[in-house]
Amino acid sequence: MRWFWVDRFIGFKPGKSATAVKNVSLAEEHVHDHFPGYPVHPQSLMIEGMAQTGGVLVGQAFNFEEKVILAKIGRATFHRLVRPGDQIVYHAEVVDEIRPEGASIRGTITCDGQLVADIELMFVHLDKSMSGEDFGDDNFVFSADFVELLRMRELAQQFAAADGDK
């Protein structure tokens, strides 16, 4: 089973930045288990949400053909808690450029305009790693269903833009 810690992308500039949102709900089991009696969204899952936001940004640069994985959390500084009912915004920016080996991302997480966290992450393209390992042709990071969903969304946006031109 795959877990997604991002509900929706609200901004995307290929090769530059991505912005996504997550609505934190009391219906999610993890908010009750983290601190019993005091429901909060765990910081580790916020890092994962930022990794998913940044990972899609890095993966898109090579048309989702590379297996992009989180290689390193350079820094993660948290400034406040996130509770059920909050909507958090993940904003990821490419630090320099996306290279064949991977990329570095600098990100912020905000809630109601307040800084929740600032994070630095490093991603690698697994097939381009220096390990010499063969990870096979199956892209277990970006499945065919995931890529098809993105393509359908892109087509829908193109149709909507063309319809708006009439």
Per-residue pLDDT of the chain (166 residues; tens, 9 = 90+): 356 789 989 999 999 999 999 999 988 888 877 778 889 999 999 999 999 999 999 999 988 888 899 999 999 999 999 999 999 999 999 999 999 889 999 999 999 999 999 999 999 988 765 566 666 777 777 777 777 777 777 777 777 777 665 5
| pTM of the predicted protein model | 0.85
Q: Which of 32, 34, 91, 125 is catalytic?
A: 34
Strands 102-111 and 68-78: unpaired
Q: Give the span between the Cα atoms of 160 and 65, in whole angstroms.
A: 27
Q: Residue 164 contacts by C-beta under 8 Å, 6 or more apart in sequence?
A: none
> 141 Cβ partners below 8 Å, 6+ apart?
55, 59, 67, 68, 69, 126
Give residue 121's Cα distance to chain centre.
11
The DSSP secondary-structure symbol of 56 reads H
Around Cβ 163, how many Cβ atoms within 10 Å? 8
Q: Which amino acid is at 105?
A: I
Residues 6 or more apart whose Cβ sits within 8 Å of residue 23: 7, 86, 87
User: What pLDDT shows up at residue 148?
Assistant: 78
The C-alpha R_g of the chain, in whole angstroms, comes to 17
All structural domains of the chain: 8-138 (3.10.129.10)
**SS3 state of residue 87:** strand
Sequence-separated (6 or more) residues with CB below 8 Å from residue 35:
none
SS3 state at 22: strand
- Known active-site residue 34: yes
Nearest-CA neighbor of 83 among 32, 14, 129?
Answer: 32
Give the pLDDT of residue 112. 95
pLDDT attached to residue 109: 98
